[in-house]
Amino acid sequence: MTQSEWRQRWQNAERYLEQYAAAVDRLNVFPVADRDTGHNMLATLHAGVAALTDEPSSPRAAARALVEGAVRLARGNSGVILSQWLKGFVEAAPDEGDWSWEHFRTALAVGARQAREQVAEPVEGTILTVADAAASAASGGTEGAHFWPTVLDAAGSALARTPDALSVLREAGVVDAGGQGLLLILQGLSGGPARPPSADPSPRLAQPVPEPIALTRPYEVEAFLLDPAYGPDRLKSALSRCGDSVVVAFSDDRAIRIHVHTDRPHEVVGLLTSAGRLRELKVLNMQAALDDDPMRDGEGPWAVVEAEWASLVRAAGFVPLAPSDAADRPGALWLQARRVLRHAVSVPSLGALLVALDHWWDVRDGTPPTRMLERAGRARQFVVERRQDGYRRADDPRLAGDRGTVLDGIVRGLAGGTEGLLHVYIHAAAAEEEVRQWEKALGAEARRVTDLPVWVLIVQE
């Protein structure tokens, strides 16, 4: 398989997963029935595949870009595990030339091992079981036209048996969601047609998800840690003392993605802040999300600010709002879709909200979290809308025209030129060439945001 074909297969895998992500979500009952496995895996794979946009110098460089992108934006328990399974393709990649069947055999074997090693307490009947079955089938020496059918048959059979290993799957009448997501990815890599989830999808997908129970560890904590003070194994062990569903993912020893379910989120945050430079943090109250069932609307919840966090946001000059219709609006941070769970934080603008999300609990240079929120509160923003006749500055409708004209106006409006800390958020539908133009003109890195209501949002701190 040529490097170009290899890349196309990953794009194919992403399309298959996107096509059936909602169906995979409906299978999701383990470890928590929050029905987000399909979209968590899709977001993770999309981040990896997006990193393949620019042609890399070698197959190994391409595989490394795939993994780094996936680890950087991995979501949920299944997404973090998937990002580690992808590491098998880095170790197996040829230094140059085409991918052989032996390369794929190695990739599946190493990927299964890497995924299992980074889960603190591996559970059978999950994505790990399906990964092992695929690797075992590939190791039998088949190649050519028989390779992928052999792998897919073994993975599909292992998936069908997952309810035998996990009673929660058997009681719900479903197969494991993570294993189903991995099977879809393998189908995409095979180049064959996409097959709907499960061998008998209609009765399985019609089966309702069980009523949520009281979670003993209701908080999901996800974080991205830079320059860790100690290695993944020690971090995994420390996190295991705080909760379960612990997964530690990394592409190299400078950046680690963590996932844990806990009843002591503040202890986890304290542990992480002492373990390195915390670049991202999400704390989600899964119990509240399950009780209010936001997934019924197809929208995931924002992270939740509990009462204990209110003093922190007050110290930063923000106002915690009690649940009310007034809080449920753009510009309120940490909202449940259409409904506030505990508190929301009133921020002055969409731009400040995005900056706060980017910098929440970023303790670079010892800066306390409250200072990060203060910086977000002082942010200036330039809002650009794309219209049929060109572009218009929504913050100043008099400034309209082609892209270059609007860009020039923004650059002139920035104090001190383009110096200072800029955040550029651009609509996910923007063409790659357009993203590069904004980045070059502003001297900043653009971040694509799927739900951005405007085309480009430029924030200056």
For 189-225, how does the pLDDT look when each residue is reduced to its tens digit (9 = 90+)? 998 877 777 533 333 333 444 455 677 887 888 888 8
Q: 310: helix, coil or strand?
A: helix
Q: What is the third-level CATH fold of 211-276?
A: Ribosomal Protein S8; Chain: A, domain 1 (3.30.1370)
Burial of 391 per CB tally in 10 Å (0-12, 13-18, 19+): buried
Overall CATH class of domain 3-206:
mainly alpha
Query: Does the pLDDT of residue 77 top 60, yes or no?
Result: yes
pLDDT of residue 86: 95
For residue 327, what is the DSSP state?
T
Query: Taking residues 241-245, what's their average pLDDT?
Result: 89
pLDDT of residue 140: 82
pLDDT of residue 269: 76
pLDDT of residue 415: 59
Q: Which residue type sits at 82?
A: L
Query: Taking residues 274-289, what's their average pLDDT?
Result: 72
pLDDT of residue 109: 95
Q: What whole-number distance in Å separates Cα of residue 23 and Cα of residue 285? A: 24
Please report which confidence band the pLDDT of residue 375 belongs to, taking 50, 70 and 90 as the band edges: low
Q: What whole-number distance in Å separates Cα of residue 269 and Cα of residue 257? A: 13
* Highest mean pLDDT (candidates 117-131, 135-149, 306-320, 335-349): 117-131
Place of tokens 């048959």: 153
Contact status, residue 150 vs residue 138, Cβ threshold 8 Å:
yes
C-alpha closest to that of 122 among 62, 178, 71? 178
Place of tokens 């895996």: 41
Q: How confident is the model over 390-410, as pLDDT tens digits?
A: 888 877 778 888 888 888 888
Query: Does the pLDDT of residue 5 top 60, yes or no?
Result: yes
Q: What whole-number distance in Å separates Cα of residue 154 and Cα of residue 136? A: 8
Rg (CA), the chain: 23
Q: What whole-number distance in Å separates Cα of residue 346 and Cα of residue 353? A: 9
Please report which confidence band the pLDDT of residue 429 belongs to, taking 50, 70 and 90 as the band edges: confident
pLDDT of residue 419: 53
Q: What whole-number distance in Å separates Cα of residue 406 and Cα of residue 74? A: 34
- Average pLDDT in the chain: 76
pLDDT of residue 272: 83
Q: How confident is the model over 33-45, as pLDDT tens digits?
A: 777 788 888 888 9
pLDDT of residue 10: 92
Query: Taking residues 130-159, what's their average pLDDT?
Result: 90
pLDDT of residue 168: 86
pLDDT of residue 205: 37
* Highest mean pLDDT (candidates 181-190, 194-203, 308-317): 181-190
Query: Does the pLDDT of residue 94 top 80, yes or no?
Result: yes
Domain boundaries along the sequence of the chain: 3-206, 211-276, 379-460
Q: 399: helix, coil or strand?
A: coil
Query: Does the pLDDT of residue 75 top 60, yes or no?
Result: yes
User: Mean pLDDT lowest for which of 133-137, 295-299, 316-320, 434-438?
Assistant: 295-299
Contact status, residue 59 vs residue 90, Cβ threshold 8 Å:
no
* Residues facing 99 on adjacent strands: none
Q: What is the third-level CATH fold of 379-460?
A: hypothetical protein PF0899 fold (3.30.2320)
Question: How many other β-carbons are positioned within 10 Å of the β-carbon of residue 203?
Answer: 10
Query: Taking residues 44-57, what's their average pLDDT?
Result: 77
Query: Taking residues 85-102, what's their average pLDDT?
Result: 89
Query: Taking residues 336-365, what's their average pLDDT?
Result: 52
97: left (phi over 0), alpha (psi -120 to 50) or beta: left
Q: Give, in order, the Cα–Cα distances in Å from 388 to each of 178, 382, 385, 402.
A: 42, 20, 10, 11
pLDDT of residue 260: 92
Place of tokens 């970023």: 362
Contact status, residue 313 vs residue 320, Cβ threshold 8 Å:
yes
Q: What whole-number distance in Å separates Cα of residue 231 and Cα of residue 209? A: 38
Q: What whole-number distance in Å separates Cα of residue 206 and Cα of residue 184? A: 20
Contact status, residue 25 vs residue 36, Cβ threshold 8 Å:
yes
* Residues facing 460 on adjacent strands: 380, 422
Contact status, residue 295 vs residue 209, Cβ threshold 8 Å:
no
pLDDT of residue 55: 62
